[in-house]
């Protein structure tokens, strides 16, 4: 909540409701369906969760976040219960359609970090997936590169030290995409100043001199805050 309200410079106000934990009839392995939760089987599991939380009216919400009681498949290898990553659920954002035809964006992440010791999940991946459910683009890029790298949580939710504790801010591109930034286009040469992006939502845009449809966004990243 604090991350998104800070990144939006007050353009987004988040109100969250928390449902009680629920048990469903399928196991983690069944929901993962030997493909890390990328089949329709996971959809069925999530519908069962929603049925157990039927006291909530979905139309009252913009997105749903599911937190499953396991380790994320994205951490690979086998967890401390012996489950290989394809028998665990990969954190992601997508859309779920209920029995009455209601479509709802959702984010899904694991309750635990890594593959052992039951440590609470760190913030990087949940922030990345929730932002994607809000409509932010994923900016990983093609491997071996990773898009905007450490300058955007949408390209590097693990952060500079790989722990997810210190994920990056949203980049100028993502904030413009979400309409959380004020864009000023530069069309003439001159001297321009711009405040640090942690205290200003201003972004410069330069389209002159680039191929049609391409442009440059400029923000000022300062170490701190």
Residues 130-182 pLDDT 10s: 999 999 999 987 666 567 888 999 999 988 888 898 888 999 999 999 999 99
Percent of the chain with pLDDT over 90: 78
**String of b and e for 58-76 (b: at least 16 CB within 10 Å)?**
eeeeebbbbbbebbbbbbe
What are the DSSP calls for 16-71, one per residue?
---PPP---SS-HHHHHTTTTT-SHHHHHHHHHHHHHTTTS-GGG-S-EEEEEEEE
- Average pLDDT of the chain to the nearest whole number: 93
Q: Is the pLDDT of residue 78 over 90?
A: yes
Kindly report which listed range (14-18, 26-30, 97-101, 207-211) carries the lowest average pLDDT score.
Answer: 97-101
Per-residue pLDDT of 28-69, as tens digits, reads 999 999 999 999 999 999 999 999 988 888 889 999 999 999
Res. 14 pLDDT band, cuts 50 70 90: very high
For residue 129, what is the enclosing H or E element? helix 124-133
Mean pLDDT of 173-196: 96
> What pLDDT score was predicted for residue 144?
62
Quote the CA–CA distance of 71 and 80 in Å, as a whole number: 9
β-strand pairing of 182-185 with 202-206: parallel
Map residue 218 onto helix, strand or coil.
strand
Residue 219 pLDDT grade (very low, low, confident, very high; cuts 50, 70, 90): very high
Distance CA 118, CA 111 (A): 8
Please state the rounded mean pLDDT for residues 82-111.
93
Q: Band of the pLDDT at 223, cuts 50, 70, 90?
A: confident
How much is the pLDDT for 147?
74
Give the per-residue pLDDT at 143.
63
Instruction: Please tell me the predicted confidence (pLDDT) of residue 162.
Output: 86
Q: Is residue 108's pLDDT more than 90?
A: yes
CA pair distance 143, 87, nearest whole angstrom: 25
Asked whether the beta carbons of 92 and 133 are under 8 A apart, the reply is no
């Amino acid at each position: 909540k604090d991350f998104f309200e800070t990144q939006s410079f007050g353009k987004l106000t988040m109100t969250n409701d928390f449902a009680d934990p629920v048990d469903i009839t399928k196991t983690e392995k069944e929901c993962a369906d030997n493909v890390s939760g990328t089949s329709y089987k996971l959809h069925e599991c999530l519908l069962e969760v929603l049925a157990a939380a039927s006291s909530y009216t979905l139309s009252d919400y913009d997105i749903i976040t599911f937190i499953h009681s396991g380790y994320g498949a994205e951490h690979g290898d086998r967890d401390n219960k012996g489950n290989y990553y394809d028998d665990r659920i990969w954190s992601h954002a997508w859309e779920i359609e209920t029995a009455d035809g209601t479509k709802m964006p959702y984010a899904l992440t694991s309750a635990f970090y890594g593959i052992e010791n039951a440590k609470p999940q760190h913030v990087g991946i949940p922030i990345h997936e929730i932002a994607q459910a809000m409509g932010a683009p994923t900016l990983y890029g093609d491997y071996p590169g990773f898009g905007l790298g450490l300058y955007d949580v949408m390209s590097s939710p693990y952060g500079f030290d790989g722990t997810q504790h210190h994920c990056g801010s949203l980049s100028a591109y993502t904030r413009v995409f979400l309409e959380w930034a004020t864009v000023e286009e530069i069309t003439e040469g001159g001297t321009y100043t711009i405040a640090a992006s942690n205290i200003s939502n201003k972004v410069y845009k330069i389209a002159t001199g680039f191929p049609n449809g391409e442009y440059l966004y400029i923000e000022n990243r300062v170490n701190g805050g």
